[in-house]
Structure 1
Amino acid sequence: MKDIVGSDLGAIVEASKLLSSDCSTTATLLKLLEAERRVEARQGLLYALCWHGDLGTWDLMIHILADLQEAPKVRGQAAEGLSYMFMSVRTDSREFEAAVHALRDALKDPSPEVRYCAVHALGSTGHPPLIPVLQEMREDRTPVPGWVGTVSDEASRAIEMLEGLHRMRLKNGC
């Protein structure tokens, strides 16, 4: 636990990977996140929390994504966290609408990393009405350092993912 809020970037990464598979740490990670201000540690804490799939973190992820005072890496990680939980949320719910609203706002973000992660998260909704929004993002040819390709590339992948997830939702009666 101490490594995830330490100063060694490698240790933060390793700790976040280890803690991501231990859902019993959710409450502790949330407390640490509340007190932590360093970008790398906040990103590591969110990474671990994302994999827990705890819908209790849904509103927190939306809040962090929408907070322009947060670093792009942290906001992108919050978008990724939402992407992991979308299949557990009904498309006609308040939670779904709030997340989609925040993600659509993030598509206008000055940071290509935030836009890339928002595009990915919208693709994970499995919600066909979002296809035109993702098609528009195919125009954003901004490369994203540390990620695969451009925002446009991710928009194309997100459309494919959305269509596949939609078929899965239909098959499962959701």
Structure 2
Amino acid sequence: MSDTQPTPEERDAALKDILGDDPIAMVKASKLLCYAKAATPTLLRFLEAETRVDTRHAILYALTWHGHLAQWDLMVGILKDVQEAPLVRGQAAEYLAYNFLNVRTDSAEFRVAVDALLEALKDPSPEVRYCAVHALGNTGHPPLRPALQEMIQDRTPVPGWVGTVSSQASESMEWLESMHERRLKNGF
């Protein structure tokens, strides 16, 4: 996969495949649609109508890389929705993780997202906790260090991910410092 815009034909084929039943084609489509920012409105329509977990996850994966902050509240809502599958909620946390540096730490958007992630640290799903820990590390906000430190006690393995909630918490503490430096450098 290249990191360039897909052709209109490739984009249209991927939009069809992401809604299909072939999991391999769905993953490929999701990865291709990461580079099709013009597909955002279509993906949002698909997400609104779609109920299948793997398809919702694939759509959110593509949207994560579009970097549109207009979906911030949507992603926070998905993360907070305990009726959503852990896979989907985890992907919503990933969106937040990769977009935190575009949100000021003194903003309402930042606070709402952090509150949702802190609540997700108590989730029964290790996948949701793992993704929440990852996202909190990407905030670059040092006051969150104690929450990450506390999660080092959670040695629950996370199926489908490398390591445990604890190992991700340790890694996220390092990321927190690195991202904080980037925030300072960018005046954000």
TM-score by shorter chain over 0.5: yes
Q: Which runs of 5+ in 1 are unaligned?
A: none
Taking the aligned partners of 1:172 and 1:40, their CA distance within structure 2 comes to 36
Taking the aligned partners of 2:184 and 2:26, their CA distance within structure 1 comes to 40
Which residue of structure 1 lines up, in the alignment, with residue 164 of structure 2? 150
Letter matched to residue 109 of structure 2: E
Choose from 155, 160, 167 the match for 2:174.
Answer: 160
Which residue of structure 1 lines up, in the alignment, with residue 6 of structure 2? none
Instruction: Tell which structure's C-alpha radius of gyration is larger.
Output: 2
Question: For 1:36-71, what per-residue CA distance to the aligned partner results, in whole angstroms no more than 9, with x for missing partners?
Answer: 000000000000000001000000000000000000
Taking the aligned partners of 1:134 and 1:113, their CA distance within structure 2 comes to 15
Which residue of structure 2 lines up, in the alignment, with residue 88 of structure 1? 102
Choose from 84, 96, 107 the match for 1:70.
Answer: 84
Q: TM-score if structure 1 supplies the norm length?
A: 0.99
RMSD: 0.5
How many pairs align?
174
Identity of aligned residues (%): 67
Which residue of structure 2 lines up, in the alignment, with residue 50 of structure 1? 64
Letter matched to residue 112 of structure 1: P
1:1-174 aligned at under 5 Å gives the runs 1-174=15-188
Q: Which runs of 5+ in 2 are unaligned?
A: 1-14
